[in-house]
Amino acid sequence: MKTTFSKSHLSYKEQIKLLQSRNLIITNEQFAIKKLKHLNYYRLSAYFHPYFEEKNRFRDDTKFEDILQLYYFDKEFRNLIFYAIEKIEVYIRTQISYTLSKNVGVFSYTKTELFHDKKYHEDILKIIQNETKRSKEIFVKEFYAKYDEEYLPIWSMVEIISFNTLSRIYANLNESYRKEIIKDIDIKPFVFQRWLHTLTYVRNISAHHSRLWNKILAIEPMKPKNQKAFELISNKKIFFVLSMIEFLFKQIDDEEFNFKTELKKLFKKYPKVKYESMGFIENWEQNPIWKDEE
């Protein structure tokens, strides 16, 4: 049976008193108030739970700074993942553009015969046109000012559409093109399609500053049957996504950015963060995906 919502506004000092009544140690109230002014109490409350010994009661010796450290870890964690996904995204944009323009031509993405769901293809074209109209890029305006064309060439189009739209294009392509686009990645196209969907979802979480630490994935990636290294990793937790990212970086040979090294640096900076809540498996650094090359 539903009840009436009865919680009311709390001043910053009242928020402090509430936390103290729940056994949280706050040694510097002015510092805590300053942080609560910058960070919504509700946002910060997502990081309370690992420090509870029971509902709404913190374990003894839990400090306000402990919660802040977990919050700041998650912030840097999201930024790292966002940066890594962006590199994968740019790679896929490039491969879709190159493969389709080489095989079919500069307006290949407008050709219905390249896609297995014709109606869905029409819907995607409408989305592309809407995103094109919203674009503020100079090259878009210059193209339409110079050429009498309805659509942009594919190498321009892939630079302005959203990652979600890019993922939809890949998902709807005929199998032969999907295979060629990921020819350097040792997983099946239907698995990669699911991975793109998950990466889009995780990217959006990161972009909107939502919690990633201990997140249960609403869009689960598929486990590739030909890659045994993923067998013991739960695809409901963020460690699976981290493993996807590291696996893809090894496959596409991106030497500019070492994701594994940056992740380990972050863990070293925040040693109190518990990896298990993110789905890390025991001896994860010995997993083939994560093991250092000898």
Half-sphere exposure of residue 73, counting CA atoms within 13 Å on the CB side? Answer: 23
Interatomic CA distance for residues 27 and 62, integer angstroms: 11
Instruction: Kindly indicate the confidence band of residue 4, based on its pLDDT and cuts at 50, 70 and 90.
Output: confident
Q: Domain map of the chain by residue range?
A: 12-62, 71-286
Long-range CB contacts (within 8 A, 24+) of 69-74? 69/270, 69/272, 69/273, 70/213, 70/270, 70/272, 70/273, 71/39, 71/44, 71/47, 72/270, 73/213, 73/266, 73/269, 73/270, 73/273, 74/47, 74/211, 74/212, 74/213
Q: What is the mean pLDDT of residues 271-277?
A: 87
The amino acid at 3:
T
Q: What does the chain come to in residues?
A: 294
Strand, coil or helix: what is 206? helix
| Model pLDDT for residues 66-117, shown as the tens digit of each residue | 999 999 999 999 999 999 999 999 999 999 999 999 999 999 999 999 999 9
Whether pTM exceeds 0.75: yes
Give the model's pLDDT for residue 125: 97
92-96 own/partner pairs: CB under 8 Å, 24+ apart = 92/166, 92/170, 92/181, 92/196, 93/158, 93/159, 93/166, 94/158, 95/181, 95/182, 96/154, 96/158, 96/166, 96/169, 96/170, 96/181
Alpha carbons within 13 angstroms on the beta-carbon side of residue 288 total 7
Instruction: Tell me: pLDDT of 254 over 70.
Output: no
Give the span between the Cα atoms of 129 and 132, in whole angstroms: 5
Mean pLDDT of the chain: 94
Q: Does the pLDDT value for residue 144 go beyond 80? A: yes
42 token code pair: 């509700």
Give the contacts of 58 (CB within 8 A, at least 6 positions apart): 22, 23, 24, 48, 51, 52
For the ranges 37-51, 64-78, 163-177, the lowest mean pLDDT is seen at 37-51
Rounded Cα gap, residues 94 and 88, in angstroms: 10
Q: Which residue has the higher pLDDT, 199 or 274?
A: 199
DSSP reduced 3-state for 24: coil
- Return the amino acid letter for 121: H
94-131 in b/e burial notation, b at 16+ Cβ within 10 A? ebbbebbbeebebbbbbeeebbeeeeebeebbeebeee
Angle at 25 between CA 20 and CA 30, to 5 degrees: 80
